Chains A and B, each alone.
Chain A
Amino acid sequence: MKEINISLKVNGKQYDLSVRPNMTLLEVIRDELKLTGTKESCGMGECGACTVIMNGRTVDSCLVLAPQADGAEITTIEGIGEKGLHPVQKAFIDEWAIQCGYCTPGMVMSTVYLLDKNPKPTEDEIKEGLSGNLCRCTGYAKIIKAVQKASKMMQ
């Protein structure tokens, strides 16, 4: 398959890559850039484990083809806490909102986006905002508490 050139900015750093056109953004992030914090779990947009922020919006990076990300600005879990932990990360630690941790990066990214758009979400808005991110360990209760805590910390 003929490769194509794309350039994208990930966590503030510019990358010029030659990729197969059927490659997903998730594969670019994990396999090419070796940023393994973003996880693959379902590979078809059902679980949210691969959530990243692309041009200011959360996307399932498994559903974005690499060519669609040409020229895009991407933030992954590695890019949100460059000056120490992001308040969302800190709140997840404090509230025990983590168990196996495999959903955590995607969950954190969705929370960062949610609080960016809606700094004081209600409980129902939090549940709605995270409903695309599956977690099998925690039962979500502590994750919701962590989002509420992060919201307070960021005010």
Chain B
Amino acid sequence: MDLKYVGKDIPRVDAYEKVTGTTKYMSDLSFDGMLWGKVLRSIHPHALIKSIDTSKAKALPGVEAVVTWEDVPGLNGFGIAIQDQPVLCKDKVRYAGDAVAAVAAVSKEIAEEAALLIEVEYEVLPVVDDPIRAIEPDSPKVHESGNILLHTEIRKGDIDKGFDEADLIIENTYYASRQEHAFLETEDGIALIEEDGTLTVYAGSHYPHRDQLQLSRCLNMPVEKIRVVSSPVGGAFGGKDELTIQPIMALLALKTGKPVKMVMPREESIISYWKRHPMIMIYRTGVKRDGTLVANDVKVYADTGAYASLGGPILNLALESSCGLYRIPHVHIDGYSVYTNNGISGAFRGFGVPQVTFAMESQMDIIAEKLGLDPIEFRRKNILKKGEVAPIGHHITTDVESEAVLDAMEGSRLWRERERYRGTDKNRPWIKRGVGLALSWQGMGLGVGLPDFGDAVIEMDPDGGFIVRVGCVEIGQGAMTVYAQVAAEALRFPIERIRVVIGDTRNAPDAGPTTASRAAYVGGKAIFLAAEEMNEKIKGYASGMLSVSPDEIEIDDGSAYVKTAKDKRVSYEEISSYAIERGGLPVAEGHFDLPTADKAIEGAFGLPHHIYSCCGQIAAVEVNTLTGQARVTDGAVVVDAGTVINQGGLEGQSEGGFVMGTGYALTEDLIIENGVVKTPNFSTYIIPTSKDMPSSIETIPVTNYESTGPFGAKGIGEIGMVPTAPAVTNAIYDAADIRVFKIPATGERIYELLKQKKGENK
């Protein structure tokens, strides 16, 4: 097909507003008579609430409302999967940051002062901070039901037989840190009551329609009376998937009848909201001398913190990918998601998979080295292909371009020229250099048994242009641009005259969450289907206007014409006038159900997925053996992308994912000790700056047409950071002969490992 917009060099449709500072994020909105909200949070990680006295706060001049659990009209609980997190705590707090009360006042300062006047009497309880210890029956309980949120066990083959067949067994324990999203825009927004009594909540998130549903439960209000606007978002990465401040702002707006604004200060945001699950991963992997994997025994403990949110599904997605994209006949996977008082863990780009990929791809590197095999050759020998049985026991029935990704990794400049990036630096002999790689895969979409669909609506404008409505959100990934490109291509219509409306429950239909690498894929496909219907309608009008049958009409570039007589044509402006005279402008709808597996994995809700993305990465690092500090100097990202809709967008996701992944590998560690966050700002929680980025990151897409996606595209949003950490730590081994079992590989940790190695060599 001759494409005009898909795959072309199209600038971001939201770039002009963003670069001029005219984009209105939720934090930029203000309304007349607006109040400021402030949350009082628990300073104790685990305590009973004996009493809450709000009288002094209420008496402070300028305070318009103080709310506690008593003011929650509906269910005092939220959570995407399990609603066990109180909007405002009643009798117990479970992490330092748990919301206890909130204030609305005429200024930020008065709201802050009033929050401090609320008197809460606590009875402090022992802190549960070790997920393995928390499972023991005598551990203090975070929830009455016990500390195990989810236990999933998957067996395939006969694990003992597998280890009997193995010539080499490698056993290691890996630790992955708690990662902070560090989106530049913190949780913020405004809630207000419209004249017709509707509650409008402006707050950035991944899924306005689910926020609406959750708010409806908490507020005991019908969904029709709640409007949620949640786009554009100043970064999210999974951290705004669950509710954050929305229900508290809504309570204050309902109580005062006035607009209430809240902007989380950075420290409060870091202390109070979602993080990537820290995981402890015990791996035992068996392999034959010739490099055939035969057994993998995996045990995972995920620290889900105080509340459920998506802790269960995150564990299961991690387990699905825990053995890598490899053919392993005998598998035992045993995973626990455990409640603790360590903040709250939830969705974060990669959804559990970066952790297990760090462990599995480290195992792969260790085995390849022990057997003297080339790391790509070793992976190729075991790589899972379409039609084969995955480690959790289902058949892979869709294209996952595993071999093509390995081929492209092998052919990449960085791998071919790797010798240039290895060895001791001649001018600085204390600098050791090395190259490492890792491969990953991840399911796309929400998984089996969950509704996973997208709706889109296309309307013709009175001037013959189009409005495209789809409920996903713009979190920076470029969804709006992809939607405009897909619509322009499918409608065969100039992109400048297409307006995309997203992220608003009133003005855009439900297209599911902007998560799981599904927004471009599902939203794009729904738009494609709506466009097909719109094209049929346009042909119908044109056939009436030109007095020929609809089959004889062709459309292109904003006009419809007779195939055999191209000068017989009508413009879309004329069609719109014609349609208005005949009852109204055309509207078309598209509905797409994401294909899911036909058979579920027993005892593992949501598994398996049906469509997978695959990504391989190569990293070159330098290790300073005097300081222990490692830095990534070069990177290559190979990603199974299907058709590339926009190269700029693909590279942006890939480069951004790679650099976020290097932060995860080297510096990012949200430390919680005895339930208290020790790194609540960017001076103590270190994310990469421009000086930390590699001098080059090459993006190499594998572009096999994905038959179910819009114009053959596949989602790539998450996987770009999944294999980075093990690629970096494998490179550290190549450079300095030290194995990293705990990320981040900070200067201190590497220094200690170097010291240990020196001791061993003496």
The reply to whether chain A is a binding partner of chain B is: yes
B655 to chain A, nearest CB (A): 4
Interface size on A, residues (CB 8 A): 53
Query: Given A93, A123, A131, A144, which contacts B16 in the complex, CB threshold below 8 Å?
Result: A93
Query: Given B21, B237, B659, which contacts A76 in the complex, CB threshold below 8 Å?
Result: B21
Residues of B within 8 A of A93 (CB): 11-12, 15-16, 19
B752 to chain A, nearest CB (A): 28
Interface size on B, residues (CB 8 A): 58
Residues of A within 8 A of B3 (CB): none
B211 to chain A, nearest CB (A): 19
Is B20 within 8 A of A131, CB to CB? no
Is A39 within 8 A of B16, CB to CB? no
B628 to chain A, nearest CB (A): 21
Is A89 within 8 A of B20, CB to CB? yes
Is B19 within 8 A of A134, CB to CB? no
The yes or no answer to A3 lying at the interface (CB within 8 A) is no
The yes or no answer to B715 lying at the interface (CB within 8 A) is no
Q: A42-B681, A139-B655 are in contact. Are A100 and B690 (CB under 8 A)?
A: no
Bound-complex Cα distance A23 to B581 (A) = 58
Query: Given A36, A78, A99, A143, which contacts B476 in the complex, CB threshold below 8 Å?
Result: A99
**Within residues 1 to 28 of chain B, which ones have a CB less than 8 A from any CB in chain A?**
11-12, 14-25, 27-28
Bound-complex Cα distance A134 to B182 (A) = 10
Write the A47-59 contact mask toward B (1 if CB under 8 angstroms, else 0).
Answer: 1010000000000
Question: Which of B183-191, B454-462, B733-741 touches A?
Answer: B183-191
Additional A-B contacts beyond A134-B182, A135-B184 (14; CB < 8 A): A34-B30, A36-B24, A37-B20, A40-B263, A43-B265, A46-B682, A92-B19, A94-B11, A98-B18, A99-B476, A101-B18, A130-B689, A139-B660, A141-B655
Bound-complex Cα distance A93 to B693 (A) = 21
**Within residues 688 to 705 of chain B, which ones have a CB less than 8 A from any CB in chain A?**
688-691, 693, 695-697
A-B contact pairs, 25 of them (CB 8 A): A37-B21, A39-B185, A40-B263, A41-B234, A41-B266, A42-B682, A46-B682, A77-B21, A89-B19, A96-B649, A98-B15, A101-B17, A101-B232, A101-B476, A104-B21, A108-B19, A126-B690, A131-B691, A135-B690, A136-B184, A136-B235, A136-B660, A139-B656, A140-B688, A142-B655
Is B186 within 8 A of A96, CB to CB? no
Residues of A within 8 A of B652 (CB): 96, 99, 137-139, 142
Residues of B within 8 A of A37 (CB): 20-22
Is A101 within 8 A of B28, CB to CB? no
Query: Given B19, B236, B658, which contacts A104 in the complex, CB threshold below 8 Å?
Result: B19
Is B185 within 8 A of A41, CB to CB? yes
Residues of A within 8 A of B18 (CB): 98, 101, 104
**What are the nearest 6 A-B pairs in CB distance?**
A37-B21, A100-B476, A102-B234, A101-B18, A139-B659, A96-B648
Task: Select the residue from B25, B265, B693 with max chain A CB neighbours within 10 A.
Answer: B693
A17 to chain B, nearest CB (A): 16
The yes or no answer to B657 lying at the interface (CB within 8 A) is yes
Is A100 within 8 A of B475, CB to CB? yes
User: Chain B: residues with CB nearer than 8 A to chain A?
Assistant: 11-12, 14-25, 27-28, 30, 181-186, 232-237, 263, 265-266, 475-478, 648-649, 651-652, 655-660, 681-683, 687-691, 693, 695-697
Query: Given A41, A78, A85, A99, which contacts B478 in the complex, CB threshold below 8 Å?
Result: A99
Residues of A within 8 A of B14 (CB): 101
Is B12 within 8 A of A103, CB to CB? no
Residues of A within 8 A of B687 (CB): 134, 136
Bound-complex Cα distance A95 to B655 (A) = 13
Residues of B within 8 A of A140 (CB): 655, 659, 688-690, 693
Is B19 within 8 A of A98, CB to CB? yes
Is B690 within 8 A of A81, CB to CB? no
Residues of A within 8 A of B657 (CB): 139
Is A81 within 8 A of B183, CB to CB? no
Output the nearest chain A residue to B233 by Cβ-Cβ distance: A100
Residues of B within 8 A of A81 (CB): 20
Query: Given A44, A104, A137, A144, which contacts B681 in the complex, CB threshold below 8 Å?
Result: A44
The yes or no answer to A148 lying at the interface (CB within 8 A) is no
Bound-complex Cα distance A140 to B16 (A) = 19
Residues of B within 8 A of A40 (CB): 27, 263
Residues of B within 8 A of A142 (CB): 648, 651-652, 655
Query: Given A34, A96, A102, A143, which contacts B690 in the complex, CB threshold below 8 Å?
Result: A143
Is A100 within 8 A of B697, CB to CB? no
Residues of A within 8 A of B688 (CB): 139-140
The yes or no answer to A105 lying at the interface (CB within 8 A) is yes
B119 to chain A, nearest CB (A): 25
| Tally of contacts, chain A with chain B, CB under 8 A | 169
B648 to chain A, nearest CB (A): 3
Query: Given A36, A85, A134, A135, which contacts B682 in the complex, CB threshold below 8 Å?
Result: A134
Output the nearest chain A residue to B475 by Cβ-Cβ distance: A100
A74 to chain B, nearest CB (A): 14
The yes or no answer to A128 lying at the interface (CB within 8 A) is yes
Output the nearest chain A residue to B263 by Cβ-Cβ distance: A40
The yes or no answer to A133 lying at the interface (CB within 8 A) is yes
Bound-complex Cα distance A131 to B15 (A) = 22
The yes or no answer to A127 lying at the interface (CB within 8 A) is yes
Bound-complex Cα distance A93 to B691 (A) = 22
Residues of B within 8 A of A151 (CB): none
The yes or no answer to A38 lying at the interface (CB within 8 A) is yes
Residues of B within 8 A of A42 (CB): 266, 681-682
Q: A42-B681, A99-B478 are in contact. Are A144 and B690 (CB under 8 A)?
A: yes
Is A99 within 8 A of B691, CB to CB? no
Bound-complex Cα distance A54 to B17 (A) = 23
Is A137 within 8 A of B476, CB to CB? yes
A77 to chain B, nearest CB (A): 4
B671 to chain A, nearest CB (A): 17
Task: Select the residue from B181, B660, B682 with max chain A CB neighbours within 10 A.
Answer: B682
Is A127 within 8 A of B656, CB to CB? no
Residues of B within 8 A of A89 (CB): 19-20
Output the nearest chain B residue to A100 by Cβ-Cβ distance: B476
Q: A101-B18, A102-B234, A136-B183 are in contact. Are A127 and B691 (CB under 8 A)?
A: yes
Q: A101-B14, A102-B234, A139-B655 are in contact. Are A78 and B20 (CB under 8 A)?
A: yes
Q: A96-B12, A139-B697 are in contact. Are A130 and B24 (CB under 8 A)?
A: no
Output the nearest chain B residue to A22 by Cβ-Cβ distance: B109
B273 to chain A, nearest CB (A): 15
Output the nearest chain A residue to B266 by Cβ-Cβ distance: A42
Residues of A within 8 A of B23 (CB): 101
Output the nearest chain B residue to A123 by Cβ-Cβ distance: B695
Residues of A within 8 A of B655 (CB): 138-142
A112 to chain B, nearest CB (A): 12
Task: Select the residue from B16, B23, B233 with max chain A CB neighbours within 10 A.
Answer: B23
Task: Select the residue from B15, B22, B183, B649 with max chain A CB neighbours within 10 A.
Answer: B15
B186 to chain A, nearest CB (A): 7
Residues of A within 8 A of B19 (CB): 85, 89, 92-93, 98, 101, 104, 108
Is B12 within 8 A of A98, CB to CB? yes
Output the nearest chain A residue to B684 by Cβ-Cβ distance: A46
Bound-complex Cα distance A46 to B689 (A) = 11
Q: A96-B12, A100-B184, A127-B691 are in contact. Are A105 and B235 (CB under 8 A)?
A: no
B270 to chain A, nearest CB (A): 10
Is B656 within 8 A of A99, CB to CB? yes
Task: Select the residue from A35, A37, A143 with max chain B CB neighbours within 10 A.
Answer: A37
Is A131 within 8 A of B689, CB to CB? yes
Output the nearest chain A residue to B662 by Cβ-Cβ distance: A139
Is A47 within 8 A of B20, CB to CB? no
Output the nearest chain B residue to A27 by Cβ-Cβ distance: B108
Write the A89-121 contact mask toward B (1 if CB under 8 angstroms, else 0).
Answer: 100111110111111110010000000000000
